[in-house]
Each structure stands twice: as structure tokens, then as C-alpha cells.
């Protein structure tokens, strides 16, 4: 059997960076190279119904080998989705719900994933880690104090010039290791297991072409989280805010009472938003307005925002305030000067998971059985699981074990890879 570490090191050698500049699915053809490798491996393992869609979504199944009734399903038949997929009422004979595990194959556009050179720091000594001596790139304990808690562990790090790709090739490797375990041990009872690997998650399109019906699971987990032990089923409500400002360019020598500087009006728009509702001042369940991009000139300018809040009412208030800021400036500078458009991106999956809280309880039980202390934490971002939950597939998120995603300081402890794969096996076993 191939170890989870061996798989991970192989998968990160594939450059699978997605690119939002392209409208194709997947956005980059290079994602298909890893998809085809995973397809080959699944087929060699003996997985059933291995298929890849024209959009680069890879699905497979490990059939139910129990032929028995699931007590877990019976106890939790109130979950609307499980019921919709064939669960009977409590006390009635029912089949084990098909359980899905999903990870994404792409890596973030924020830093190159070409020619990743992972290195294992053995028995980490708790001190600063020199990633690249030549370029003087150092991961410092003073900047990442949680490193001290990992003293003695083996850590997989970058060479400081690329991201690592643990987000989410760690999840891919862990799911593949779980799959190989069950396929190599048919004597271990389990219900039907559905496996899904998706493209373009990092650019917000991971669920765009996901066929929930074809996937076949009643419930699922994304394996796309952070440090070992984390369980997530609350994410931000999210919207994009696009502000377009029409100015009036006049020669500065003759500009008095004639010029409308679109750049300055853009700055004024930003000044109207609450100062401390900004990512650099928020944590936990606190929402924010994030100015992600600003461009333009005197004649016209544009500002792109992301708007986030866990609480739906506060989310709606933020969107309203955003629009009111534009209205204020239009009253000041003239109708049509500022056009603000807000588009919802995704919603907090909490309301879709709460009827299926056995998913969280099962994950906690599995982690505890594997010697890991479970911790339920909110996601300060999004996840494919949120969109999939609203598409009819309740889908909380599980840890992969990684840290510092999307950058040169990304790393993952070797033990976390092993433990997460073990947790996935245990979760699937608890469904039998």
C-alpha cells in the first residue's frame, strides 16, 4: 500500500493552479493531469464506477459491503436530505446512507504551484525554519507562534519560492489513502462511500458543475480544513461588491468646480465604511468589508469588495449600508456618479447542517477514537461544502492538518496526514 505521505508528495508535484481569468471548466487544463492520475489510481485500486465529467470532476464509489441496516441512519432519519435519499422513519428498516468525501485538486492563484520542492523537517526543534538560505526566506516562530506546539514533529515545508499545495492535495491524499484501505480490506464493514475530486475551488467555482445526483451521496464531508481536529459547519454569508465611479477629467490648471476625480471619490466611498469592520481588525464570527482591488484614473475608477458575515441579519445590514454609501455620494456629486452592485456568492451552511447534526457528532466521535481532540470552529471564508449544502448535499468540512495556506509558509505535519486519513476511515466505519 502507498502511504499517505508518499501520495501527498507525488500530488504536490503536479501544478494544478486555477485561474479566474479563464471561463472554461476547469479553468486550466493542467488540473486534468492530476485528475487523470487519480482516475488511474482509483481504477487500479478496484474502486467502482470511476468516471470523470467533461468539466474535470472525478467521481468514484466503494460499494456497501454490509447488507445491513444502519442504526445511525435510523436514529438520525430526521435529517431532511437523508430522508429524501431513501431513509425511513425511526424504527423502520433502512439502508446505510451513501457517504461522500470531497476534496479539490486545484491550488490557489495567489502564489505559483510550479516546481514545488517539498522538504521534510525531521523532529522539528521548535526554532525558526530556514526555507531558503539563498533567498533568506525564514519561517519565524515570532510570526507563527503555534510552531512551538509542533516541536518534535516531522513537518513538510516548501523551499520558500512556491506554495506547498496542502490546500487541498492533503485532502486528496487522505481520501485516496482511506479508499485504498477499504478496498484492500474488504472484511472491514462500511456503507457505500462516494469519492469526489473537484477543479477550480480556489477561484470560487468548485461547485459550479458538481452533479449532486450523479455523485450519489446522501450526505458528505469536504476534507479541506486546517489544523488537525478542526470541524467546520458555519461559514460566512458572502457577497461581492463592485463599485464603478464616473468622474470628469479636466486639465488641473482649469479644474476648479469642474473636475470630479473618480479616484478621490473612490477613497471617499471607502472612508464611509466602518473602519473596524475590516479583515485586519476582525476574527471569529466577526464580519467585514474587504477592499480587494482598486483601479482607475480621474475619469473613472472601480473598487472591488468582498462582504462577509456569519450572521444573516448582519450580512443583510452590511449590503444595505454598502448601497447607502453609494446613494450618499450620488446626492453629493450627482446622480449616476457612483454605481454599486452587490451580488451574493454563497450563504452560511449552518441552517442546512443543523438538521443533520449527527454528521458533526460522528466526526467528533471518530476524532476522539483516533486520539484527537475535536474542535468546532467557524470558517472565516467559504467552502464548496456551503454551496453543496444548498444544492441538497449537507456537507460540513473536516481538517486536513495543514497550516498557512496559499503562501510560501504553507506546511503540514506528517502525523496530521496520517491521523486525518485514520479519521476518515473511522467516520466511514461509524456509518456501517
Q: Which residues are catalytic?
A: 106, 201
Closest CA to 180 of 47, 27, 336, 317: 47
Distances (CA, A) of 113 to 26, 110, 161: 16, 9, 9
Bridge partners of 235, per DSSP, are: 379
Calpha distance 294→210 (Å, rounded)? 32
Element (H, E) at 316: helix 312-333
Bridge partners of 296, per DSSP, are: 301
SS (H, E, C) 83-143: HHCCCCCCCCCCECCCEEEEEECCECCCCCCCCCCCEEECCCCCCCEEEECCCCEEECCCC
Grid cell listed for 153: 514533529
Calpha distance 12→6 (Å, rounded)? 10
Calpha distance 212→205 (Å, rounded)? 15
CA 334 to mean position of chain CA atoms:
42
What is the chain's alpha carbon radius of gyration, rounded to the nearest angstrom? 24
Amino acid at each position: 500500500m502507498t502511504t499517505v505521505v508518499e501520495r501527498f508528495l507525488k500530488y504536490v508535484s503536479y501544478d494544478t493552479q486555477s485561474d479566474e481569468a479563464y471561463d472554461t471548466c476547469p479553468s486550466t487544463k493542467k488540473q486534468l493531469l492530476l485528475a487523470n492520475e487519480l482516475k488511474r489510481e482509483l481504477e487500479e485500486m478496484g474502486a467502482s464506477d470511476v468516471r470523470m465529467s467533461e468539466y474535470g470532476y472525478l467521481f468514484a464509489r466503494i460499494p456497501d459491503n454490509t447488507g445491513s441496516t444502519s442504526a445511525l441512519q435510523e436514529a438520525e432519519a430526521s435529517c431532511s436530505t437523508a430522508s429524501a435519499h431513501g431513509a425511513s422513519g425511526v424504527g423502520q428498516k433502512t439502508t446505510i446512507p451513501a457517504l461522500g468525501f470531497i476534496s479539490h485538486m486545484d491550488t490557489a492563484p495567489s502564489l505559483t504551484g510550479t516546481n514545488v520542492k517539498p522538504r521534510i523537517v525531521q523532529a522539528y526543534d521548535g526554532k525558526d525554519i530556514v526555507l531558503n538560505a539563498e533567498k533568506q526566506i525564514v519561517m519565524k516562530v515570532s510570526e507563527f507562534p503555534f510552531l512551538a506546539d509542533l516541536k518534535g514533529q516531522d513537518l513538510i515545508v516548501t523551499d520558500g519560492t512556491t506554495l506547498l499545495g496542502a490546500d487541498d492535495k492533503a485532502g486528496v491524499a487522505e481520501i485516496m489513502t482511506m479508499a485504498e484501505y477499504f478496498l484492500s480490506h474488504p472484511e472491514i464493514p462500511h456503507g457505500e462511500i462516494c469519492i469526489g475530486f473537484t477543479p477550480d475551488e480556489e477561484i470560487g467555482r468548485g461547485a459550479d458543475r458538481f452533479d449532486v445526483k450523479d455523485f450519489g451521496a446522501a450526505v458528505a464531508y469536504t476534507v479541506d480544513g486546517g489544523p488537525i481536529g478542526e470541524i467546520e459547519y458555519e461559514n460566512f454569508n458572502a457577497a461581492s461588491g463592485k463599485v464603478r465611479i464616473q468622474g470628469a477629467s479636466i486639465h488641473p490648471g482649469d479644474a476648479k468646480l469642474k473636475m470630479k476625480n473618480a479616484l478621490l471619490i473612490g477613497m471617499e466611498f471607502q472612508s464611509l465604511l466602518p473602519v473596524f469592520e475590516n479583515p485586519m481588525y476582525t476574527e471569529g464570527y466577526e464580519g467585514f468589508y474587504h477592499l480587494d482591488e482598486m483601479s482607475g484614473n480621474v475619469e473613472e475608477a472601480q473598487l472591488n469588495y468582498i462582504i462577509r458575515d456569519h450572521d444573516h441579519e448582519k450580512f443583510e445590514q452590511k449590503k444595505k449600508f454598502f448601497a447607502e454609501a453609494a446613494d450618499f455620494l450620488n446626492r453629493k456629486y450627482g446622480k449616476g456618479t457612483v454605481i454599486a452592485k452587490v451580488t451574493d456568492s454563497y450563504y452560511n451552511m449552518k441552517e442546512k447542517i443543523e438538521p443533520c447534526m449527527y454528521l458533526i457528532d460522528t466526526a467528533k466521535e471518530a476524532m476522539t477514537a483516533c486520539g484527537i481532540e475535536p474542535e468546532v470552529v467557524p470558517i472565516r471564508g467559504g467552502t464548496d461544502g456551503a454551496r453543496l449544502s444548498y444544492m441538497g448535499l449537507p456537507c460540513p468540512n473536516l481538517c486536513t492538518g495543514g497550516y498557512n495556506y496559499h503562501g510560501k509558509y504553507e506546511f503540514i505535519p506528517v502525523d496530521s496526514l496520517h491521523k486525518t486519513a485514520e479519521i476518515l476511515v473511522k467516520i466511514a466505519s461509524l456509518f456501517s
